[in-house]
Amino acid sequence: MPPPIPLTSGQKAPAFSYTEDQATIHSSEITSPYLIYFYPKDDTPGCTKEACAIRDAWAEFGAAGLKVIGVSKDTERSHQKFQNKYSLPFPLIADTELQLANAFGVFGEKQFMGRTYDGIHRMSFLIAADGTILTSYPKVKPEAHAAQVLEDFSLLTS
């Protein structure tokens, strides 16, 4: 499989739905800006750093009016354990069939330690309330991503 070709600024985000507090939420119902971030696997070092950095900046995300949604191909059960273990205050989508990852263009060829395989790339998209992608993040640094998103959002909306 070739490397991914992610969506970019100005494009419309694909429609999706997820469960939050036992209710199904459709992306068309999201009326505020949001960050959708894709990550390879629950409870791995980089993914945990990224999720916890967002959790630690949760008050700032709330003050900015930014919703956050995480996505990986892990199961709902795995997501629940990950959320509980690290007290993550945002929903995680179980994209086990990779429909959302493919729609956003984040699934493709990866290399790690000389091995080539297909997987979800760590990428994020900052999306306006109308569903338009404000900016995409094709190269995410897990520890710094939350601060980068908040800074970019304040610049884009000021």
Q: Which residues does the annotation mark as catalytic?
A: 47
Can you tell me the distance from the alpha carbon of 124 to that of 47, in angstroms, rounded to the nearest whole number?
13
Strand 23-26 and strand 107-112: the pairing is unpaired
Tokens of residue 37, six digits:
């971030």
Q: Where are the alpha helices (DSSP H) in 29-75?
A: 45-56, 58-64
Cβ atoms of 69 and 90 closer than 8 Å: yes
Region of residue 147 (phi > 0: left; psi between -120 and 50: alpha; otherwise: beta): alpha
Q: Which amino acid is at 119?
A: G
